[in-house]
Amino acid sequence: MPVAREKDQRRTTSTSSDGPSSATPPTQFFPGEWDPNDHNGGRALTEAVQPCCSPKCTVLTDIDPASPEPDSVKMICSNEKCSFSSFMHATCFTNFEEQMLSCLRGMSRARNWTEKQRRQNLWTKKGYDLIYKMSACRCVKGALRRDLSFTGVEDKTKRKRKKSNSSEKVGIPVRSVNGITRSRSRTSGRSNSDSISSENGAAYMQPFAHRGDYRVFEKVLPRHLINSYHIKMEDDGYGAGDETRSFVLSSLAFHHTSQVNCVLCATTMSVYDQFPLIDGTFFLSPIKPAGCSLEVEGKEDDSSFLSAVCLCCMAGVNRVCCRFCSTLWNGNLHQLGTMYTYNILSSFPCCGASVQCNHCQQQLVDPTKITLSFCQLSSQVKCSHCGSVDYHYIKPLSRFNISKSH
């Protein structure tokens, strides 16, 4: 009996493997097609090449995370075990972003936003919190969000061609920062080589530098000030300052720039993808302090102006003093490398000229007995003498005498 049972088993196995099968063949999925049953697009995922993370991918090529296409967009999935690529094709991202903007237009909290404000806030906390439930990843278990700290992908072919062209025609050396080729041209008043371009030539990502050390701060500040209390560090805590960093980087990317100028001494500063964001500090002002300030969306959808003060002006290396009373402005009272939501230049009134009404020139308060907060000094107040409502405590930069150190 055992021998007969073994023969029956062999016969059954042979029939199932070699004989004709009446079962329906499995459904075939072509590259780029999404199978909602296995979430893998009908293909086995590999570590080397992965499908695009867009739920409605229309490109018939997968993405190699080690060397993605130059116009690919870096995304972040909330599902830590997501097996799809963290990159999205440029065309897929354009369609995905337009879909998210359509959802944002229907939100009551964003209904009064302009189209410019919607695009600027879409991937920041202010806008993303409204639409994250609609930004489903292809893995169906997470939500997608654009990685604003991603510095872009280098196109080696274009880099070589651009390097040879700029060297032959202009004779100006070409330098590379963070894998992004930057060149200057005398024949063109504006260079667009600092931005990453897609196939249609539209810039979508601005490269931000990556800070390798704190030598700049060590050269200017005394040793006891090189700490996380005076300098905003990246490791101040999990998620600490993410909203501030996203706001600054997205605002600068919207204006297609990765550099800013000091409003006091006009020094050019690079913006970094992590804290400290800048060799100095950012601040917001309801009134435009200088021509280099950038207009961004402020509180309650009102416009504010993003400005910066360099490290030398903050630390007192450059002498910044009041033109009326010669009092030095002390920037060491503010943290470096971050952003303040009020005008730091008006946070410490020093004399009667700094607290005068902008209309009748009468003093609003005694400068030695001010009890107002920093935010109140950057807000509109009513003059008790003439009744005018204005930002009376925010004064033009002409009230400062600035002496740059050489």
75-89 pLDDT, tens digit per residue, is 999 998 898 888 898
DSSP string, 109-137: GGTT--HHHHHHHTTSHHHHHHHGGG-B-
Q: How many C-beta atoms lie closer than 10 Å to residue 194's C-beta?
A: 17
Coil, strand or helix at 269: strand
CA angle 334, 338, 339 (to 5 degrees): 85
Average pLDDT over residues 283-310: 88
Contacts of 256 (CB under 8 A, 6+ apart): 195, 203, 206
Average pLDDT over residues 181-201: 35
Closest Cα to residue 398, out of 322, 330, 333?
Answer: 322
Q: Give residue 194's pLDDT.
A: 36
Q: Give residue 262's pLDDT.
A: 97
Q: Give residue 49's pLDDT.
A: 81
For 93-143, write each residue's pLDDT tens digit.
988 888 888 888 877 778 778 888 888 889 888 888 888 888 889 888 889
Residue 276 near residue 282 (C-beta atoms within 8 A): no
Q: Would you say residue 16 has pLDDT above 50? A: no
Average pLDDT over residues 181-206: 36
Q: Give residue 171's pLDDT.
A: 38
Residue 63 near residue 75 (C-beta atoms within 8 A): no
Q: How many C-beta atoms lie closer than 10 Å to residue 164's C-beta?
A: 11
Q: Would you say residue 177 has pLDDT above 80? A: no
Residue 276: pLDDT band (50, 70, 90) is very high
Q: How many helical (H) and strand (E) elements, i.e. helices and strands, does the chain have?
A: 9, 17
Residue 302 CA to its chain's centroid (Å):
20
Residue linked to tokens 């920041």: 124
Measured between alpha carbons, how far is 394 from 307 in angstroms, rounded to an integer? 14
Contacts of 275 (CB under 8 A, 6+ apart): 232, 233, 234, 236, 241, 245, 337, 338
DSSP string, 35-99: -TTTSSTTS---SSSB--S-TT---S--B-TTS--TT-EEEEES-TT--S-SEE-HHHHHHHHHH
Q: Give residue 178's pLDDT.
A: 38
Q: How many C-beta atoms lie closer than 10 Å to residue 92's C-beta?
A: 23
Measured between alpha carbons, how far is 43 from 28 in angstroms, rounded to an integer? 10
Token digits for 357? 């009404």
What is the residue-averaged pLDDT of the chain? 77
pTM > 0.85: yes or no? no
Residue 148: pLDDT band (50, 70, 90) is confident
3-state DSSP helix/strand/coil % of the chain, to nearest 5 = 30, 15, 55
Q: Where are the domains of the chain?
A: 28-150, 156-205, 215-346
For 150-159, write each residue's pLDDT tens digit.
876 654 444 4
Average pLDDT over residues 343-349: 93
Residue 22 CA to its chain's centroid (Å):
57
Residue linked to tokens 């204005």: 390
Average pLDDT over residues 203-221: 80
The dihedral sign for the CA sequence 126, 127, 132, 137: negative
Q: Which one is predicted more confidently, 41 or 58?
A: 58
Q: Give residue 306's pLDDT.
A: 96
Measured between alpha carbons, how far is 173 from 185 in angstroms, rounded to an integer? 10
Residue 79 near residue 138 (C-beta atoms within 8 A): no
292: buried, middle or exposed (CB in 10 Å: 19+, 13-18, 0-12)?
middle
Q: Would you say residue 57 has pLDDT above 50? A: yes
Q: Give residue 235's pLDDT.
A: 60
Average pLDDT over residues 306-323: 95
pLDDT over 70, % of the chain: 72
